[in-house]
Amino acid sequence: MKVRIISAAVGIVLVIGVLFVAEMFPIFIGIILGLVNAIMTGEYLSAKKLHRKYMISIPCIALSLVTPVLVFYMNLMVVMYAFALIMMISLIFYHDHLSYDDTAFAIVGTLLITCGMTSISAMCVGGQYTSFYVVICLCVPWLSDAGAYFTGTFLGKHKLCPNISPKKTVEGAVGGIIFGMLSGIVAGMIFSSFIYGADKVYINYGGLALIGILNSVIAILGDLCFSLIKRSCSIKDYGTIMPGHGGLLDRFDSVIFTAPLVYLFCRYAVLIAPAVSI
Q: Is 211's pLDDT higher than 70?
A: yes
Among 29, 222, 240, 32, residue whose Cα is nearest residue 109: 222
Residues 140 and 235 in one domain: yes
Q: How many Å apart are CA 238 and CA 241, to the nearest integer?
A: 9
Domain of 277, in residue numbers: 127-278
pLDDT in tens, 29-87: 999 999 999 999 999 999 999 999 999 999 999 999 999 999 999 989 999 999 999 99
Average pLDDT, the chain: 92
CA geometry: angle 136, 137, 141, nearest 5 deg: 95
Of 125, 158, 191, which one is at a domain's C-terminal end?
125
Q: Is 258's pLDDT higher than 50?
A: yes
Q: How many Å apart are CA 86 and CA 20, to the nearest integer?
A: 37
Q: Is 198's pLDDT higher than 50?
A: yes
The separation between CA 146 and the C-alpha centre of its own chain, rounded to angstroms, equals 15
* Within-domain flag for 150: yes
Q: How many CB atoms lie within 10 A of CB 166?
A: 11
* Within-domain flag for 61: yes
**Mean pLDDT, rounded, for 185-208:** 93
Give pLDDT, residue 275: 84
What contacts 132, CB < 8 A, 6 or more positions away?
A: 187, 191, 195, 196, 271, 272
* Within-domain flag for 11: no
Contact status, residue 146 vs residue 180, Cβ threshold 8 Å: no
What contacts 8, CB < 8 A, 6 or more positions away?
A: 244, 245
Residues 267 and 154 in one domain: yes
Q: How many Å apart are CA 65 and CA 13, to the nearest integer?
A: 23
**Total-model pTM:** 0.92
Give pLDDT, residue 30: 96
Give pLDDT, residue 157: 87
Give pLDDT, residue 97: 86
Residues 210 and 251 in one domain: yes
Q: How many Å apart are CA 84 and CA 184, to the nearest integer?
A: 36
Count: domains in the chain: 2
Percent above pLDDT 90 for the chain = 77
**Mean pLDDT, rounded, for 99-123:** 96
Percent above pLDDT 70 for the chain = 99
Confidence of residue 278 (pLDDT cuts 50, 70, 90): very low
